[in-house]
Amino acid sequence: MTNDAQPRTQWLGRWGFVLAATGSAVGLGNIWKFPYITGEYGGGAFVLVYLACILAVGVPVMMTEIAFGRRGRGSPIDAIRRVAGEAGASPVWSLLGWMAMLCGFMILSFYVVVAGWSFAYLWKMLSGGLAGSSVDEMAAIFGANNESPLNLGFWSTLVTVATMAIVGKGVQAGIEKSVSWMMPGMVVMLAILIGYGAFSGGFGEALRFLFTFDAGSLSSEGMLAALGHAFFTLSLASGAILTYGSYLPGRASIARTTLSVAVADTVVALMAGLAIFPVIFANGMEPASGPGLIFMSLPLAFQAMPLGTLFGILFFVMLSMAALTSSISMVEATVSWLTDNKGISRRTASWGTGIVLWLISTLAMLSFNLGAEWTLAGKHFFDWLDYLTSRWMMPLGGLGMVLLAGFVLKNQAFREELGLSPAWHALWLFMVRYVSPLGILMIFVDALGIAKLQFGSHWPWLLLVLGVITVVGELASPRLKRAFDA
Ligand code: PFF
C-alpha cells in the first residue's frame, strides 16, 4: 500500500519504524565516511569525541525529533509549526523545519555520487575489473572511475532514479522489507572482514589507531567533524528522522526505539573501522587517503580471501542497499511536505524533487572531473555540500530543536510523547536543556576560534562548573519543579 491518499499512514509492522530509522541511520556514513574521517583526524581521540557526541547530543536530539514528528504528524515544517503553535510559541520556529528539509536535500545531492561509487564497484566486482590489482593500481582504478563525467554521472543518475522510484511508491513496504534482511547481512559481512583483518598483520595497529586516546592529535576541526558526524550518522536535523517519526504509532516507546537505532548505528561504524584499518596498515596505505579509502582498501582484502569475489559482490550489494535505505529517507521530508501542502500526488512530488536533485547532484559529480578547477576557498562544490551540512546546518538545527523543546515549549507535550518515568524524563530534560546545547556550543565556540578548547586549558572546565551550578540551581528552583509537574 502506498501512502498516496493518506500521508499520515503509520508504519505497517511493529518494527517498521525501527527498521526504517535504522535503515536511514546505517549507510555510507558508517562504512564510507566514518573510517575516512577517523583516518584524517588521527584516530582514537576522534573516535572518543564522536562516541561522546552520540551519547550526549545524538540520543537526546533523536528523541526530541521523533517526539516532534509524532506530536505534529507532518513534515518537519508542519510538525514543528504545529507543536510550537500548540504551546503558543511563534510559527517562526518552523524555520528549523525548512533548514532540516534543505539539509536533507543538500546531503542527498552529494550522497548519490558516493552511492554511485558503490554501484560502480559492484559492477567492477561482477565484471572482474578489480582482479589482481596492486595497492597502486587500486588507487588508479578509483581515480579513473571519477575521471569520466559520463561514467560517474551514469552511476549517480542510477541512484537518483532508484531513490525516487522507491519514494514514489511509498516507503513502507520497500524499506520495511529490505532493511530486515539487509542489516543482519551487513553485520555478517563486516564480521567476516574483521575475521580476515585479524590475520592480516595490521590488526594490532588498527586497534591502537582506533582506540588509543591521544588528546594532542585532536584539532578543533576534528571536534567539529566528530560532532557533525554524530548528526550525520544518526540522520539528525535533516528531516529524515522527524518525518519517519510522524508515521510512528502512538504506543511505541520513543526512548527504546532511539536506543536501538543509536546502538545499531554505532556498532556498524566501529565494525567498519575494524574491518578497514587492518587492511590499510597491512598494505602500507595511508589512513588519511580521503573519500576513496574504502574503495581502495576493501577490494584488496577481498582479492586475497578465498571466495573473495563472491564476498566482494555481496559486500557491495549490501553497501548499495544501505545507501539506498538512507537516501530515500533524505527526500521523504520534501516529498511529504509537497504532498501535504501542494495537493500533488506522491509520485509527481517524487519525480519533481528528483529532477532538481539530479541537477544539483550533477554539479557535485562534476567536482571530480570537468569541474576539478571550480573551487571556492579550496573546496569543491561536493565538499561544500558536505561541509555546510555536517559542520554547520545539522548541529545548528539540532541546537534549535533542543532549545525549543527544553525551554520554549510546554513540558506536558513531551511528557506525553516520551512517556518516560519522572526520573528518566528529568534526565532527558537535563540533557536537552544543558548537556546537548552546551556540547554543541562549546564545539562551535572552539571552531570559530572564539576560545580554544584544549584539553590542557581550564576554560572548558570553567564552563562545565558553571553549567553544573546552573543546573543544580534550577533543579532546586520552584520553576523547574513546576515544569516537571506541568
Ligand atoms: N545516516 C546516513 C548515513 O550514515 O549514511 C546519512 C543520512 C541519512 C544523513 C539521512 C541525513 C539523513 F537525513
R_g over Cα of the chain: 22
Task: Indicate yes or no: pTM above 0.85.
Answer: yes
What is 308-335 written as a DSSP string?
A: HHHHHHHHHHHHHHHHHHHHHHHHHHHH
Could you give the CA distance from residue 406 to residue 402 in angstroms, rounded to a whole number?
6
Burial class (CB in 10 A: 0-12, 13-18, 19+), 364: buried
> Would you say the CB of residue 398 lies under 6 angstroms from ligand 1?
no
Q: Which domain holds residue 331?
A: 14-448
Q: Round the average pLDDT of the chain to a whole number and report it.
A: 86
Q: How far is the CA of 96 from the centre of ligand 1 (A)?
A: 18
Query: In ligand 1, which atom is closest to the CA atom of 240?
Result: 13
Domains in the chain: how many in total? 1
Distance, CA 354 to ligand 1 centroid (Å)?
A: 18
Instruction: List C-alpha distances in Å: 347 to 12, 151, 164, 217, 254.
Output: 20, 28, 9, 49, 30
- Report pLDDT digits (tens) over 429-485: 999 998 899 888 877 777 776 666 655 555 666 666 677 677 666 666 655 555 555
Per-residue confidence (pLDDT) for residue 411, from 0 to 100: 80
Residue that has been written with the C-alpha cell 501512502 in this structure: 3
Rounded to the nearest angstrom, the distance between the alpha carbon of 282 and the centre of ligand 1 is 30
**Helical packing angle, 254-282 and 59-72, nearest 10°:** 140
Task: Please indicate, yes or no, if residue 1 is contained in any of the structural domains.
Answer: no
Q: Which pLDDT does position 4 carry in this prediction?
A: 40
- For residue 27, the CA-to-ligand 1 centroid distance in Å is 7
In this predicted structure, the answer to whether residue 260 has a pLDDT above a threshold of 80 is yes
326: in domain? yes
> Which of ligand 1's atoms lies nearest the C-alpha of 265?
4
Main-chain phi, psi angles of 324, to 5 degrees: -65, -40
Is residue 376 helix, strand or coil? Answer: strand
170 and 4 in contact (C-beta within 8 Å)?
yes
Which percentage of the chain shows pLDDT scores above 90?
A: 49
CB 271 within 8 A of CB 189: no
Rounded CA gap, 319 and 313, in Å?
10
Predicted local distance difference test score (pLDDT) of residue 445? 76
Task: Indicate whether 465 belongs to any domain.
Answer: no
pLDDT digits (tens, 9 = 90+) for 15-74: 788 888 999 999 999 999 999 899 889 899 999 999 999 999 999 999 999 999 999 999
Q: Return the CATH number at 365.
A: 1.20.1740.10
Closest residue CA from atom 10 of ligand 1? 235
* pLDDT tens digits, one per residue of 378-434: 888 999 999 999 889 999 999 999 999 998 887 888 999 999 999 999 999 999 998
- Report yes or no on 144 lying in a domain: yes
Assigned domain for 386 exists: yes
**Looking at the domain assignment, is residue 100 inside a domain?**
yes
Decide if 429 contacts 408 (C-beta within 8 A): no
Residue 484 resides in a domain: no
Is 246 a domain residue?
yes
